[in-house]
Structure 1
Amino acid sequence: MNYKIDIEQEEDGRYIAEIVELPGVLVYGNSQKEAILKVQALALRVLADQLEQSERFENNLTLSFVAI
C-alpha cells in the first residue's frame, strides 16, 4: 500500500501532516521532519489495530509513505 502524506506549515510555524486515506491520522510537529515521522508512526499504529481487528488483510503487506 502506498500512502501520501499531506504536509503544510501552519501560521504559527508548526507543521501539520495527514494521511487522508487513514481517517484520524493527523499530527503536528515542530519541523517538517518531526511531523512526517510522527504521522508515519501513527499510521503504523492505526494499521496494526486494523489488522488485529481483521479490518484489513493482505498476504504480502508492503507499506510506502511519500511526503508531498
Structure 2
Amino acid sequence: MKLQQNIKAFIRPGEQQGYVAECLEISVVTQGETLDEVARNLLEAVSLHLEGEDPAEFGLVANPSLIVTFELQTEYT
C-alpha cells in the first residue's frame, strides 16, 4: 500500500456565516469566521487528530502536507 503525501481538505462558506473546512482522508471538520481563522483552525485540528498516532494507520506518510481547495460563491449585481 502506497502512503499518501497529502491530506486534501476543502473550505466552503458556512450555512449561516463564516467558513467550514473538512478533510477528505481523515475525520476532521472545523470552522472559522474568516478564511485566515478557518485555515488556522484546520491546521490545529489536523495536528491534534494525528498527535500520538501513526500516520501510516491513516494511509499517510509522516508529516503529510495539507492541500486546501476553496469554494467561493460569485455575486452578480
TM-score (norm 2): 0.67
Deviation above 2 Å: which 4+ runs of structure 1? none
Q: List gaps (5 residues or longer) in structure 2.
A: 70-77
Which of the pair is proportionally richer in strand?
2
Choose 1 or 2 for highest CA Rg.
Answer: 2
What do you get for the CA RMSD once the two structures are aligned? 2.4
1:13-61 alpha-carbon deviations (Å, 9 max, x no partner): 21000112111x100100112111111111111111323xx946x8x72
Which of the pair is proportionally richer in helix?
1
TM-score (norm 1): 0.74
Q: List gaps (5 residues or longer) in structure 1.
A: none
Same amino acid, percent of matched pairs: 22
Number of equivalences: 64
